[in-house]
Amino acid sequence: MRALALVCLVAVGATAAQAFGQHSAWGGLGAAFAALLWLVWDNTRRLGVITWLRGEDGKEPPEVGGFEGEVMERVHKRFVQKDGMAADHATRLHEFLQAIEASPNGITLLLGDGRIEWCNPAAMEHFGIDVQRDRLQYVQNLVRHPVFAEHFRLGRFDTEIEIDAGASRGRGDMTLILRVRRYGEGRLLLLSRDITVLKRSERMRRNFIANVSHEIRTPLTVVRGFIETLQQFDLSKDEQQRYLTLIAQQASRMDTLVTDLLTLSKLEGSPLPSIGEWQPASTLFDEVLNDARSLAAVLGHTTQRIVGDVPAQLELAIQPSEWRSAMTNLLSNAVRYTPSDGQIAAGWRAMPDGGAEFYVQDSGVGIAPEHIPHLTERFYRVDQSRSRETGGTGLGLAIVKHVVQRHGGEVRIRSQLGKGSRFALYLPPRRVRAQAPVSLLAAAKVSTASRAD
């Protein structure tokens, strides 16, 4: 096509020049001039193609037509296809990096000699690494733990190791599982997983089992000893009655312990209470207050004064049986640990933020400050001998805390040795409301009825 176009252009140029000059020499000049024009035009098209290929003339190819145009069009389609694939790969790579950064497990990329290339936020948290500051630093210098140093030195990466990462960084309790993997061309991948919560839960489980075993074994030992005494010795009726009374006391203690354990298990395995059924705070409180006064009479605290106060219109969205248990626990503790001539004040009160709190304030012996943060722990006792005398299991305040937390609240404790204690159970605003007075409700009904007539 290009040769035919050249021949035609030369012929036209020669014919036109000869007709204009009316001499044969003019035909040759015309042919040469036509050939020159064609050469300029052809080179201009080629220059446009070269310029486009160099990326100097935008993304769209110039319209040159012919063979060059066909080539440029095909090349352009290939470029567009490649650009789309590159953009897709870039998007996928970005999403992959986002997933790695969002991973709760630590991921650290290392060179073959242990220098840090990159790490995600979880790894930065685990090892205290700043990816900008510590890039190309040796990981052995930053993770200072003898187990890890020896593991890295040996280079046997077929097993995982466990280290206490918190102690070396002055952060207290932090346990990590580390695993090193080889990948790529001589590179290493350091994976870290925080198992602090699992270790703490395992430790709490072991302590819980040990405490339960101890609490049950103690009364069982007493019961077995009394029974052996009754079986082996000829005792008087008064002595037999005394031993049987002690056996009954220990059996009651075990029964209380089992009941508290079942209550804790039920609380931990039950769904959270819904906000649907509302009830007056005074109804439940009156029952608990009467039980506390009855307990005071049984214990011989005849001069102990227990006063209560509840706003008349206060309504609560709570699980009644759970809160009856929690409120009874606080009031019964106050009765037991307050002298016979002491005073106990209890009740509900509205809070400025719209919530409410159930409080029990006594004039008892009080609690030392170092014990207060641990009072709601299972089996924690301020005074072992005093708890034994009052029949406590060490689970009561743990049950109280579970009940309150299940309702979105918290336990607040203030106490001073020799001056008494104040326990409060706070409920958030979404579980508290003030019911309209009865007179207002009646007026609203009358107004609605008159409009209907």
Tens digits of per-residue pLDDT, 266-279? 887 778 888 878 88
pTM confidence score: 0.56
Q: What is the DSSP letter of 132?
A: T
User: Which residues, listed in sequence order, are joined to residue 410 by a DSSP beta bridge?
Assistant: 426
State the average pLDDT over residues 223-235.
88
Res 18 pLDDT > 70: no
Evaluate if residue 29 carries a pLDDT over 60.
no
Q: Return the residue matching tokens 């011989």.
A: 300
Tokens of 1: 């096509």
203-269 and 279-434: identical CATH topology: no
**Neighbouring-strand partners of residue 193:** 177
Both tokens assigned to 423: 């326990």
32 by Cβ neighbours in 10 Å (0-12 / 13-18 / 19+) ranks as middle
Min mean pLDDT across 71-75, 192-196, 202-206 is at 71-75
pLDDT higher than 90, residue 410: yes
What are residue 107's phi and psi, to 5 degrees?
A: -130, 120
What are the angstrom distances between the C-alpha of 420 and each of 82, 140, 203, 344, 414?
79, 55, 34, 10, 9
Rounded Cα–Cα distance for residues 204 and 188 (Å): 36
Q: Please check the confidence at residue 87 and state whether its pLDDT lies above 70.
A: yes
Buried-exposed string 390-407: b where 16+ CB fall within 10 A, e elsewhere: eebbbbbbbbbbbbbebb
Answer whether 400's CB lies under 8 Å from 326's CB. Answer: yes
pLDDT for 440 equals 38
CA distances from 433 to 272, 285, 298, 346, 445 (A): 20, 16, 36, 20, 21
So what's the pLDDT on residue 20?
Answer: 55
pLDDT digits (tens, 9 = 90+) for 133-183: 888 998 888 888 888 888 888 888 888 888 887 665 555 678 899 999 998
Question: Can you give the residue ranges of every domain in the chain?
Answer: 2-82, 103-194, 203-269, 279-434
Q: Are 304 and 344 in contact (CB under 8 A)?
A: yes
pLDDT score of 304 more than 60: yes
Whether 62 shows a pLDDT value over 80: the answer reads no
> Which band of pLDDT confidence, cut at 50, 70 and 90, is reported for residue 209?
confident
- Among the listed ranges 88-102, 223-237, 355-369, which one has the minimum average pLDDT value? 88-102
Mean pLDDT, range 410-436, rounded to an integer: 90
> Is 102's pLDDT higher than 50?
yes
Predicted local confidence at residue 168, as pLDDT: 58
Q: What is the mean pLDDT of the chain?
A: 79
Position with higher pLDDT, 19 vs 376: 376
CATH of domain 279-434: 3.30.565.10
Q: What is the Cα Rg of the chain in Å? A: 44
What is the C-alpha end-to-end distance of the chain, expressed in Å? 100
**CATH architecture for residues 103-194:** 2-Layer Sandwich (3.30)
Identify the CA nearest to 140 among candidates 149, 130, 127: 149
Residues 428-451 pLDDT 10s: 999 999 875 444 344 334 334 444
Report the topology of domain 203-269. Helix Hairpins (1.10.287)
Residue 183's beta-bridge partner residues? 187
Element (H, E) at 356: strand 356-362
Q: What percent of the chain has pLDDT over 90?
A: 20
Angle between helices 66-102 and 24-53 (to 10 degrees): 10
73-87, 201-215, 309-323: lowest mean pLDDT where? 73-87
Under a CB-based contact definition with an 8 Å cutoff, are residues 408 and 274 in contact?
no
Residues 6+ apart with CB under 8 A from 334: 292, 344, 346, 360, 362, 364, 421, 423
Least confident of 184-198, 351-365, 383-397, 423-437: 383-397
By CB neighbour count within 10 A (0-12 exposed, 13-18 middle, 19+ buried), where does 441 fall?
exposed
Task: Give pLDDT, residue 289.
Answer: 92
DSSP code for 138: B
Three-state SS at 71: helix
Lowest mean pLDDT among 16-30, 40-54, 423-437: 16-30
What's the pLDDT band for 30 if we cut at 50, 70, 90?
low
Structure tokens at 75: 């090349």
Which residues are bridge partners to 41 per DSSP?
A: none
Average pLDDT over residues 404-430: 92
